[in-house]
Structure 1
Amino acid sequence: MADTQTPTLAETHSPPGWLRLLWADKYATVAAVFLLFVVAMAIFGPSLFADLSSKVNFRGRNLAPFQFEHGWLMILGADSLGRPILARILVAAQNTMTIAFFAVLAAGIVGGSLGLIAGYSRKLVSDVIMRLADVIMSFPSLLLAVIVLYMLKPALGNLVLVLAITRIPVYLRTTRAEVLEIRERMFVQAAKVMGASTWRITFLHILPMVLPTLLTIATLDFAFVMLAESSLSFLGIGIQPPEVTWGLMVAQGRPYMAQAWWLSFWPGLMIVLTTMSLNLLSNWLRTVLDPAQRWRLEGSKETANV
């Protein structure tokens, strides 16, 4: 009877799952839950609240928040056209998240690929790629985006393209630095001796070692790109009405800051909370993906009690 209750050696030393590691960091857990809520808003918000977010009601212009007699959609107040701020925040989440996601994805793929090539190719090819990164980095990213968007139509696709281009050097330089160190390890040398091609070594042996670092950077970069999009929308060269983003909502509420602070406060709060959650989740990812730091979560009391 006692033997059936005693855990086996494999069960005793088996590493905890991702959920247990996440639960061990309470701040990361709260951040992950909030980000899931934001993703749900981005997916379902427009289909559920698109009509309500664009419905004009001049009787409710600049309605103050927490006026419960006007319905739950007006709990955060209304904008200068009487449209419920809560509905507009839910709808704007899709454009804000879509722009940030595809900009980070494109920058990660292009920058990561170029970094792999620059780190494992001949010096001439590496120098050409790095000079390309230097050219992009010589311009302030926000200034470059402003110049390009003034020349192009400020559409969603152009906004993604501009933001992705400005972030490519981050992934390129990081990936190249990682590859230069990994290429000297024994398993890479063994693959060379066994006759593996350059492409096989690069994408099947080195890339999996670089991905954890790129994933951590992408989480942080997602927050940066979202702030950059909000800045461009605030300047009036981002997404244009009738489309809406959180940054555009902040810009539209700027003329009414003195008498209707809530027009800019609530979308600005969503930007701050989302950025903070991404930073907390990025710190957790960096700890989990680093074998030298992962013990901090694996050995915590919270993990042991789950």
Structure 2
Amino acid sequence: MLALLRRDKFALAAAVFLVVVVLAALVGPPLLGGIGIDMDLMARNAPPFEPDRGFWHILGSDALGRPILARIIIAARPTLLIAAAAVLLSMVVGVLLGLIAGYKGGIVGDVIMRLTDIVMSFPSLLLALVVLYIFGPAITNVIIVLAITRVPVYLRTTRAEVLEIRSRMFVVAAEVTGASVFRTVSRHILPMVVPTIATLMTIEFAFVMLAEASLSFLGLGVQAPDFTWGVMVAEGRSYLATAWWLSFWPGVFIALVTMSLNLLSNWLRIATDPVQRWRLEREVASDE
């Protein structure tokens, strides 16, 4: 897979950037200490690229004189954790229900699909806004709401895959030889669904990040003292005319991570598809 990844320069650059962001989110906050939290009123709304103020102020300072670069690194952890938790939760629930609806079918499958249709009948962002307005904008509530709105995507995708796979010969052979439902699904059907789900998770991670940023921008996402990139964008909207960098730089990082995830998902779709993967393998073989 690494050899295939090296063949796609854009996907490789996206993967390297994402690894750097994840490492910064993991090790950055403990190493920074209070750099991104301590106020310096002498540096209020200091513009970017002023070397006299030091390295951490290279992207400018916010309304309380805190360096934007340090705050972006600190905010990377909650931003990625919220997106990862929501994606994993929605994936587990959606894939499980999709396997049941696709393999079991019948009344159970119909009930699951009708409930899915009800959830999908509401715009996901509008549903999240209503729920967070009622229950309050806590981090846990944000994760649960974002997960619920994305469950139908995994459910419908998994069900469609299962309906196509269950009629294949190797699945029929497993059923004829007396394999249990659990063994048939876990050993023969689920591995065939995993590549599609992995690609979908990459795309959904980007979507959930944007959704969390939208909720935070509207004031119903993460609340102080916690902050994410979306919160930083929201905090800077009052200064767009005088200090554009407060919202610009966290918005740039949201866009870069989202674009990198989309590039990586496109490569992953090709690399896991036997119909298209041979092209990448041929290019690798020709280089060798």
In structure 2, the residue matched to 1:278 is 261
Within-5 A mapping of 1:207-246: 207-246=190-229
In structure 2, the residue matched to 1:3 is none
Write the distance in 2 (CA, Å) between the matches of 1:50 and 1:287: 42
Write the distance in 1 (CA, Å) between the matches of 2:247 and 2:129: 22
8 Å Cα contact 1:117-1:126 kept in structure 2 = yes
1:151 matched to 2:151? The reply is: no
In structure 2, the residue matched to 1:10 is none
Q: Which residue, out of 74, 78, 85, partners 1:102? A: 85
In structure 1, the residue matched to 2:13 is 30
Poorly superposed stretches of 4+, deviation over 6 Å: none
In structure 1, the residue matched to 2:63 is 80
Consecutive unaligned residues of structure 1, counting only runs of 5 or more, are: 1-17
After superposition, the C-alpha distances for 1:248-306 in whole angstroms (9 at most, x for unaligned) are 10010001011111111100000000000000000000000000001221122x66436
Write the distance in 1 (CA, Å) between the matches of 2:200 and 2:105: 26
Partner secondary structure for residue 292 of structure 1:
helix
Identity %: 61
Within-5 A mapping of 1:152-171: 152-171=135-154
In structure 2, the residue matched to 1:40 is 23
8 Å Cα contact 1:136-1:166 kept in structure 2 = yes
Within-5 A mapping of 1:170-185: 170-185=153-168
1:112 matched to 2:95? The reply is: yes
8 Å Cα contact 1:50-1:91 kept in structure 2 = no
8 Å Cα contact 1:249-1:264 kept in structure 2 = yes
In structure 2, the residue matched to 1:188 is 171
Partner secondary structure for residue 83 of structure 2:
helix
Q: CA deviation at 1:153?
A: 2.6
8 Å Cα contact 1:58-1:82 kept in structure 2 = yes
Partner secondary structure for residue 240 of structure 1:
coil
Tell me how many residue pairs correspond in the alignment: 288
In structure 2, the residue matched to 1:121 is 104
Q: Which residue, out of 137, 142, 147, partners 2:120? A: 137
Write the distance in 1 (CA, Å) between the matches of 2:170 and 2:263: 34
Amino acid aligned to 1:134? D
Consecutive unaligned residues of structure 2, counting only runs of 5 or more, are: none
Amino acid aligned to 2:255? V
The two structures have a TM-score, normalised by structure 2, of: 0.98
In structure 1, the residue matched to 2:287 is 305
Partner secondary structure for residue 70 of structure 2:
helix
8 Å Cα contact 1:100-1:222 kept in structure 2 = yes
After superposition, the C-alpha distances for 1:21-67 in whole angstroms (9 at most, x for unaligned) are 00000000000000001101211122122411111111100000011
Write the distance in 2 (CA, Å) between the matches of 1:273 and 1:154: 26
In structure 2, the residue matched to 1:71 is 54
Within-5 A mapping of 1:2-21: 18-21=1-4
Amino acid aligned to 1:151? I
Q: Which residue, out of 249, 253, 257, partners 1:266? A: 249
Write the distance in 2 (CA, Å) between the matches of 1:150 and 1:48: 36
Write the distance in 2 (CA, Å) between the matches of 1:279 and 1:131: 30
In structure 2, the residue matched to 1:91 is 74
Write the distance in 1 (CA, Å) between the matches of 2:210 and 2:285: 34
8 Å Cα contact 1:21-1:303 kept in structure 2 = no
